[in-house]
Structure 1
Amino acid sequence: MLTVKVLNRTNGAYPDSKVFWTFNRQTHSIADRPYLDMPANSAGRMYFHLGSASSKYSDFIEFTVGPDQFNGNTTRVDAFVLKIAMRLHAADGFDQEVGESRRVFAESRATTFARFKAAVPTEFDHLSQAQDRILSPGGDPEFKPGGRYANYFAAYTSVATSSEILGCAGPLSGKPDECAQLNRHVTAAQANNRAAYYQAAPANFYAKFWHDNAIEARAYGFPYDDVNAQSTYVSHKNPQYLLVAVGF
């Protein structure tokens, strides 16, 4: 059993009574129940909501809790809605944080959205949906055939369409190394060189933004972002507790 505590890091935007979690068909505010015991052999997602349990402001973490091990991650593969970070502590002293950085948690929501639009090229700035969410380009219609940016990667490679590259789908499904190289715009020789990632267009600049704004620059910006240990995946034996910070 793993003890999980949810932390309100909304900078006063929401009281504890308006910060909710959902797991195993149960929903509670953290004013009512800030802790929960996650039993062994649990797997799936734990959701977090601000305002109400049916709010548009809802995000999640993914996890597997084995008999003596936790495996899990935060993710931006589908979208960004809420600022999420988590810290896993284990019996042997292991302690690791992943997710959005403290700087991101400290700033206003408006600032985060404005910085995204300023950081990405024109092809990506429409992914910012007012201040509700920032969509992943992997499922965005504008990068699919017939969309404005369907040929975004066309001059770079003919291996797959732009949508297939951003979503690691079609001919890139089951080819993590190749898909990661295309999203990061690197050669096979540069595949393990983090400093070379996202240095030229075309690249997945949505993913770059989340890496630039994450603890230790680790983020899950596209499906195979775990190549070369770049994702927020964290795993350890004999976990004692998991803290999950939820921000606005």
Structure 2
Amino acid sequence: MLTSLRHARTAALAAAAALLGGLLTLGTPPAADAAVPATIPLTITNNSGRGDQVHVYVLGTSLTTGQQGWADAGGTFHPWPAGGIPPVPAPDASIPGPAAGRSTTIRIPKLSGRIYFSYGRKLDFRLATGGLVQPAVQNPSDPNHDILFNWSEYTLNDSGLWLNSTQVDMFSAPYAVGVRRGDGSTASTGRLKPGGYNGVFTALRAQPGGWGGLVQTRSDGTVLRALSPAHGVGTGKIPASVMDDYINRVWQKYATTTLTVTPFADRPHIKYQGRVSGGVLRFTNSAGAVVTSFQKPDADSVFGCHKLLDAPNDEVRGPLSRTLCAGFNRSTLLANPNQPDGSSAGFYQDAVTNHYARIIHERMADGKAYAFAFDDVGHHESLVHDGAPQQAYLTLDPFS
């Protein structure tokens, strides 16, 4: 989910990411410092303070065979059996997680996928003819709707480990991720500030404009999650017009002003110039040729970074769309005609913005999050990476 935009992807990683909802998009990484083993240890520490049984799942696409499947606690990969119509129950891929205050170490293999964890109940996974059906909690009839769960996303390949926390689909059970690097140092991200977990829900409910509609609770009063606004718009939990005012102002501004996009930090000579004409935003290259164009997007396109802001895996439209998506979600396009922004100081300053993303970033200890699909534009994502990882970490944090 993660979308870790290195601005270019290998075909294998792109295919793996597509199977996981397009959340994790990895670019061609630098060469690893040392050979990456077939599996690495993942230590899961339960600091949640909850007494519920924790269930862990390692699911994804093998980068050696291209098969979808799951890994057991020892890191052995198992392909899924054939699915059906309607989807049939998947084999039980759960791994017992640690009790409160304890740690469990498993091994994770080379794949691109997700590490799910749930409290109290096992997740209900099904297999369709096209592969695994992921939980879709925006659907009230999804069998996982009333389960408290979350997931991290990772890719482990010959060039190293990418491991992130994600809120692209929802904000739920708190956790942090980490890696012990080849040089012995440790990096981590995804941890909320003290009071940050409850603070997110409180702030959403207090935000005018219907943002509190994103919060989902169980019948017993347990707060389960906040849906992302991408799902909120699609399910009518927040108004479909919630971003219209800002989008209209952007379109008006660039009818008379040029929007300059420099999509590659490592290639600053590549620039595109955008102008709105006839209701269409057209970008030209240095030779003055039109390279791509965008119809005026709606909130669904902005929050989901898709549809009218589709981002194909290419060198022109995709990078332009990612930059526009980040600018709309962060509400920086009016303040700065040179995108993307290098600093977060001006993010979310307009009254019309992605308040879900704003609220989450404000409550992260390091300010980093994956609150929308292209939150890594400018490197504001909650991601750890190393080319020679010795150890991965997933810490289940307190619900406070």
Q: Same fold (TM over 0.5)?
A: yes
1:110 to 1:212, Cα distance in 2 relative to 1, 3 A = closer
- Counterpart in the other structure of 1:138: 230
1:230 to 377, 380, 383: 380
- Counterpart in the other structure of 2:342: 192
Conserved? CA contact 1:20–1:29, under 8 Å: yes
Q: Which amino acid in the other structure matches residue 126 of structure 1?
A: G
Q: Which runs of 5+ in 2 are unaligned?
A: 1-38, 59-70, 72-92, 124-145, 218-222, 249-295, 312-320
Matched, 1:7 2:94: no
In terms of Rg, which structure is larger?
A: 2
CA distance in 2, matches of 1:189, 1:34: 47
CA distance in 1, matches of 2:235, 2:338: 28
TM-score (norm 2): 0.55
Identify which of structures 1 and 2 has the higher relative contact order when contacts are C-alpha pairs closer than 8 Å and 6+ apart: 1
TM-score (norm 1): 0.87
Deviations 1:32-72 (A, max 9, x none): 98110112x22200111111223701110011111351012
Matched, 1:171 2:308: yes
Deviations 1:66-107 (A, max 9, x none): 135101211000001210111111121342111132514xx7
Q: Which amino acid in the other structure matches residue 182 of structure 1?
A: F
CA distance in 2, matches of 1:231, 1:165: 18
- Counterpart in the other structure of 2:244: 154
2:116 to 29, 47, 53: 47
2:54 to 16, 19, 33: 19
Paired residue secondary structure (2:210): helix
CA distance in 2, matches of 1:5, 1:121: 41
CA distance in 2, matches of 1:2, 1:98: 19
Of Structure 1 and Structure 2, the greater helix share is in 1
Write the mapping of 1:61-210 to structure 2, written as runs, cut at 5 A: 61-104=152-195, 113-118=201-206, 120-130=207-217, 131-141=223-233, 149-158=239-248, 159-174=296-311, 175-187=321-333, 188-189=337-338, 191-210=341-360
Please give the root-mean-square deviation of Cα atoms over the aligned residues, in Å.
2.3
1:36 to 106, 109, 115: 106
1:129 to 1:27, Cα distance in 2 relative to 1, 3 A = same
1:185 to 1:141, Cα distance in 2 relative to 1, 3 A = closer
CA distance in 1, matches of 2:161, 2:395: 18
| % identity of equivalent residues | 24
Conserved? CA contact 1:121–1:205, under 8 Å: no
CA distance in 1, matches of 2:96, 2:175: 18
1:60 to 1:142, Cα distance in 2 relative to 1, 3 A = closer
Conserved? CA contact 2:331–2:352, under 8 Å: yes
Paired residue secondary structure (1:181): helix
How far is 1:246 from its partner? 1.4
Paired residue secondary structure (2:366): helix
Paired residue secondary structure (2:390): strand
Deviations 1:210-240 (A, max 9, x none): 1111131000011111100011122111111
How far is 1:170 from its partner? 1.3
CA distance in 1, matches of 2:375, 2:57: 26
Q: Which amino acid in the other structure matches residue 19 of structure 1?
A: V
How far is 1:141 from its partner? 3.6
- Counterpart in the other structure of 2:80: none
Count of equivalent residues: 238
Q: Which amino acid in the other structure matches residue 57 of structure 2?
A: T
CA distance in 2, matches of 1:185, 1:111: 22
Q: Which runs of 5+ in 1 are unaligned?
A: none
